[in-house]
Chain A
Amino acid sequence: MSDATSEVVAVSTAPARIETPFQRFRAEFFESKIATTALAVFLIIVTLAILAPWITPQNPYDLAQVSVLDGRLPPGSEAFDGYTMWLGSDGAGRDLYSAILYGLRISLSVGLASGVIALLIGMAVGLIAAYMGGRTEAFIMRVVDLQLSFPASLVALMLVAALGKGVDKIILALVVAQWAYYARTVRATALVERNKEYVEAAQCLGISRMRIVFRHILPNCMAPLIVVGTVQTASAISLEATLSFLGVGLPQTEPSIGVLIANGFEYMLSGRYWISVFPGLALLMTVVSINLVGDHLRDVLNPRLKK
């Protein structure tokens, strides 16, 4: 990573022509080959997941299209219906390639939905804390600190234990497990921004508090939020997969990647590796690509690393 950073610094000093901030950001981001590749991989995964119904040979959850005769076939076998199962099939005869793409739809939507909701809640709470100050701030930050003293995985596990299975419940559990990270980030940034001159200027102009917070301070807090958002979304996807694998996350009727891996677990000891390995690789590529993008965004968006 260190050499990528030095490249970024070198580039940002070089150009003399006038660029918009976004153009500069774009140029710096694509400077890193690793991050560009990771972004491409992630976009391909998202595209495949969205297009799943049109590019897979079967709908793995339409019972009419699944035949038990196809069960546990190794990768590359031909299915009863004539198409090739490049990644093999699982115990119920589902084509794994189709099952993975359908599973990614669920995993990605749960991860993104919980990430966005947690971001909105955390952002609002963090802004309130930073702008109100005093007792409100002390109370909010005490709750945030308290929650961050427990690992997110444990918080989510407690909640699913108390709430039960289901998409809505797991999203709720992930939101509760994550909002505090956003709140802490936003508050820390907003505290710095609040004391800057442009806020004072806005106050002198008689602009309302709400407008100052949301139109002036918030946009300046976006950079760290985006970085935390990418890393948190990756960990949300991973956490959902873990909970589903343990059997306390999504039910069998909402087969995310974690459920697929759990289904393959029982066949692992008999050497039928593909049922768990391929969904696992899909999960791995998703999580690692998001993390690599987030890691580079942190370098690009960090003002301290700029000239």
Chain B
Amino acid sequence: MTVFVIRRLLQALLVVFLMSVIVFFGVNIVGDPVYMLVSPDADQADIAATIERLGLDRPIWEQYWLFLKGAAQGDLGNSFIFGEPALQLILHHMPATMELAFTALMLAIIIGIPLGLYAGLYPDNAISKGIMAGSILGFSLPTFWVGLMLIMLFAVELGWVPATGRGDMGSLLGMESSLFTRDGLSHIFLPALNLALLKISLAIRLTRAGVREAMGQDYVKYARAKGLSTRRIIFVHVMKNIMIPVVTVMGLEFGSLIGFSVVTETIFAWPGMGKLLIDAILQLDRPVVVAYLMIIVLFFIVINLIVDIVYSILDPRVRIQDQGA
């Protein structure tokens, strides 16, 4: 196990290094950020001064070397636009993204599992067929378009909730979050629902498959024979057996929620890391793009490592040594 973790971490370092090469050189070839930064009436001297200030006058390999040296000390460079350290800028936007992803995950569990349970218990029912058709749609619909439709329906036509931005912040037990105020909740509802859509479909399918498998098993037959009520069989015996894997798989989807939040945040103007990335790409703010991608790659490697370990605990048939070989 320890060997496996160490080997994976070494492999992770290699991946992050390769990524940094590709992204750094790629990003530094596209466009010319200087003209995004100086005022239109700037003269040659101003432009030259800006180029020198950003370090863009040096050869690209030297820029990369300086970047690597900084990165080793936890400095991923300063944002061209904001002048702040890129890492700090991203960490500053991270709580909003986490909040959104967490809310979406909760929504997926709260909506998806009961629907999946129903569809699993009554598979031939018309409502169940509707639920399953809905989950297929949830998989095929492009997230960004669903986001637009949600804005149109709930914000423009019905006017129930605001369409964009993050609401008032409240604090509870020393934690700052917009989940603690009414205004904040009304702002997070649409983006979280949009982000959750794919995961709701996933939760429905997982729960349904689990329930259908469990209902045919001996322990359920035995519970029936013992004379337990259907309610008790389902909510105590069956749910206990299927909830653990379903909730675990859903939890492991957290990483992909953060990846997908790029789209949702852009549509709903949610001030998180994803929107920061898209703005940085469009404004050619190279250090922020590079820093974001490095962080997200690291993040995924850690999540995947946790996934592999959790799976090996949940399912003893999965041998971690075999995967690491």
| Residues in A lying within 8 Å of B, measured CB to CB | 146, 149-151, 153-154, 157-164, 234, 238, 241-242, 245-248, 261, 265, 268-269, 271, 273, 276-277, 280, 283-284, 287-288, 291, 295
Contact = CB atoms under 8 A, between A and B. Distances in A.
Interface stretch (B89-97, B99-107, B255-263): B255-263
B148 interface: yes
Contacts of B155: 269
Contacts of B296: 154
Contact of A161 (B27, B144, B256, B304): B27
A303 B266 CA distance: 44
A250 B148 CA distance: 20
Given A161-B289, A161-B293, A280-B145, A153 B27 contact: no
Given A283-B145, A291-B140, A247 B263 contact: no
A242 B23 CA distance: 21
Contact of B266 (A146, A246, A269, A288): A246
B141 A284 contact: yes
B156 interface: yes
B56 interface: no
A161 B289 CA distance: 7
Contact of A158 (B23, B25, B145): B23
B151 A268 contact: yes
Contacts of A273: 152, 156
Q: Which among A150, A247, A261, A265 has the greatest number of chain B C-beta atoms within 10 A?
A: A150
Contact of B30 (A157, A158, A162, A238): A162
B134 to A, nearest CB: 13
Given A234-B140, A242-B263, A284-B145, A164 B152 contact: no
A146 B15 contact: yes
B293 A153 contact: no
Contact of A242 (B139, B144, B277): B144
Contacts of B281: 160-161, 248
Nearest to B282: A247
Contact of B144 (A158, A261, A291): A261
Contacts, number: 106
A185 B277 CA distance: 33
Given A164-B31, A242-B263, A149 B304 contact: yes
Given A149-B300, A157-B262, A268 B148 contact: yes
A146 B289 CA distance: 22
Which one of A160, A245, A276 has the highest number of Cβ atoms from chain B below 10 Å of its Cβ? Answer: A245
A159 B22 CA distance: 9
Interface in B288-309: 289, 293, 296-297, 300-301, 304
B145 A246 contact: no
27 contacts: A149-B304, A150-B297, A151-B259, A153-B259, A153-B263, A154-B300, A160-B281, A161-B27, A161-B277, A161-B293, A162-B23, A163-B26, A238-B140, A238-B142, A241-B142, A242-B142, A242-B143, A246-B263, A246-B266, A247-B278, A248-B278, A268-B148, A269-B156, A273-B152, A276-B145, A287-B140, A288-B141
Contacts of B148: 261, 265, 268, 276-277, 280
B137 A288 contact: yes
B68 to A, nearest CB: 17
Nearest to B267: A265
B314 interface: no
B149 interface: yes
A133 to B, nearest CB: 15
A1 to B, nearest CB: 8
B113 interface: no
A287 B142 contact: yes
B163 interface: yes
Given A149-B300, A158-B293, A268-B151, A288 B142 contact: no
A72 to B, nearest CB: 16
Interface string B165-182: 000000000000000000
Contacts of B266: 246
Contacts of A238: 140, 142
A162 B22 contact: yes
A151 B143 CA distance: 14
Given A247-B282, A276-B148, A288 B263 contact: no
B300 A269 contact: no
Contacts of A158: 19, 23, 293
A134 B152 CA distance: 55
A293 B305 CA distance: 36
A234 B141 CA distance: 11
A162 B304 contact: no
B17 to A, nearest CB: 13
Contacts of A161: 23, 26-27, 277, 281, 289, 293
Given A157-B262, A280-B149, A163 B144 contact: no
A241 B143 CA distance: 10
Given A154-B300, A283-B145, 11 more contacts: A149-B301, A149-B304, A153-B263, A161-B289, A241-B145, A242-B142, A246-B278, A265-B148, A265-B267, A269-B163, A295-B136
